Structure 1
Amino acid sequence: MPLTFEDLLARARALPRLGHRALLGIAGSPGAGKSTLAEQLVRTLNGEGEPWVAHVPMDGFHLADVELDRLGRRDRKGAPDTFDAAGYAALLRRLREERDEGGEVVYAPGFERVLEQPLAGAIAVPPTARLVVTEGNYLLLDTGAWSRVRAQLDEVWFCAPDEDERVRRLVARHEEFGKSHQEAVAWVLRSDERNARLVAATRERADLVVRDLVGWPDRHGRPRTGGEPGPVGTDTGC
């Protein structure tokens, strides 16, 4: 029987334990719907009463363009070695170790989509946040500093939508943030799809695979119609 969005909410609610903050990771290839799912989970769970869930995306750990230029990696922006993976793993560890009583606000970097640059200290995680949802491409990668990430996460869900739909959404997203259609297609085929193949190979390490995404509220709270992403069909990978 396929899981519903309500099933995913129940699974997320059950993650925090008494006295311990839980970290939920959402992984998947570029354009898989990770941010949309994370944002809707956080919005819905926080709408049930006092806010208790925080959202800390991996994208805040993009290296700045000036550093990518220095390293000669600007044309591969989005590849694993264009992030501060060690810094991301260290932040997750700090978030895990913080306790509600006597804890302090933890500041995490954000990412400005229009500028395509990280922003230091853009996200505040209060000590009252009992669940932190983080999402990104490489949460399940087991090479280099990325291998430290999985150990900090209580669960990782992997978004695996229809591939044609994923690519279509990815091209549309690049167009939304300033690329022409030709530039968007070229970037997706040259860079994003190379990264997507790498990410797809990590799917078996996930605790849950979310696929056939149809039939849940969009980021504005409106019910989705056929052909739009939303978690319905799933299979477990734990």
Structure 2
Amino acid sequence: MIPEKLLNQLDQSPSYQTLLKKVEQLIEQHSDRLIIAIAGLPGSGKSTMADYISQRLKQQHCEQVISVSLDGFHYSKAQLKRFADPEAAFARRGAPWTFDSAQFCLRLAQFKQQPQQTLYWPSFDHSHGDPIENDIRITSDTKVLIVEGLYVLHQKHGFEKAQAWIDESWYIDLDIDTAMLQLAKRHQQAWGISETEARQRIAQNDALNAQIADQSRVFADHIIRVG
């Protein structure tokens, strides 16, 4: 949930207002359920954008919109320990192959194909470092699912199957230096580590994931430039 102060600040952003109108148009044009995917680098503001649109649409039009994250489909620590090379799996956690892409694609399919059923979506506890299964309830009257994540437009490791269910896709175009700076601040807050430790963590893992995520920009319907 985005605080009201930040919501009001984002109301002044022309790019955010354009996206809000875009989603309103999509809702008007489609009678069926919609899935909107938002991809981008780590720290590029994917969750902020998804949550902003979801909250504002609910407030302004009472549309049944919900924003969710790919993060809930991280393999758990217990699952990573069962990988052929657990050390590599933990070192590269956050890479595409450390996500359960099959379950991710299945939930997208269920949202589109089973509109009368209540759907449950996993969340991710960053402080604990593991997903929380069935933490988010998506009711049958939900019309728009906004899903954000590094690999929602990725074309390998099973994520390519998600494209069959996505109606609209965006890629946030933020320069990598700014994105990594924002990510370092997030790491410091989440784990209580120093700026140096955060940057070391980014260099060893997040920057590699950013390079992979950036390759998916060519598959987006729209490039969203911010910053």
Residue 123 (1) aligns with residue 139 (2): no
Identity of aligned residues (%): 29
Task: Kindly indicate which of the two structures has a greater share of residues assigned to helix.
Answer: 2
SS in 1 for 2:122: strand
State how 1:89-100 maps to structure 2 within 5 Å. 89-99=105-115
Partner of 2:200: 186
Instruction: Return structure 1 stretches of 4+ with deviation > 4 angstroms.
Output: none
* Of 97, 103, 120, the match for 1:107: 120
Equivalent residue, structure 2, for 1:66:
78
CA separation in 2, counterparts of 1:18 and 1:150?
18
Give the TM-score of the pair, scaled to structure 1: 0.83
RMSD: 1.6
Q: 1:56-77, CA deviations, whole angstroms, 9 ceiling, x for partnerless residues?
A: 2111000111211221111111
Tell me the distance in 1 between the aligned counterparts of 2:41 and 2:163.
16
1:1-238 aligned within 5 A? 4-16=15-27, 17-71=29-83, 72=86, 73-99=89-115, 103-178=116-191, 179-213=193-227
SS of residue matched to 2:186? helix
For these two proteins, the number of residue pairs brought into alignment is 209
Alpha-carbon offset, residue 171 of structure 1: 0.6
Distance in structure 2 (CA, Å) of the matches to 1:18 and 1:196: 33
Q: TM-score, normalised by structure 2?
A: 0.87
Q: State the Cα deviation string for residues 104-131 of structure 1 (Å, max 9, x = none).
A: 2111111112112100111011111111
Structure 2's unaligned 5+ residue stretches are: 1-12
Contact kept, 8 Å, 2:172 with 2:223, in 1: the verdict is yes
Question: Partner amino acid for 1:78?
Answer: G
Aligned partners of 1:182, 1:66: CA distance in 2, in Å? 29
Shift of 1:3: 5.8
How far 1:39 sits from its partner (Å)?
A: 0.8
Distance 2:98 2:26 in 1: 31
Letter in 2 for 1:97: Q
Contact 2:39 2:46 in 1 (8 A): yes
Q: In structure 1, how many angstroms separate the alpha carbons of the residues matched to 2:30 and 2:90?
A: 44
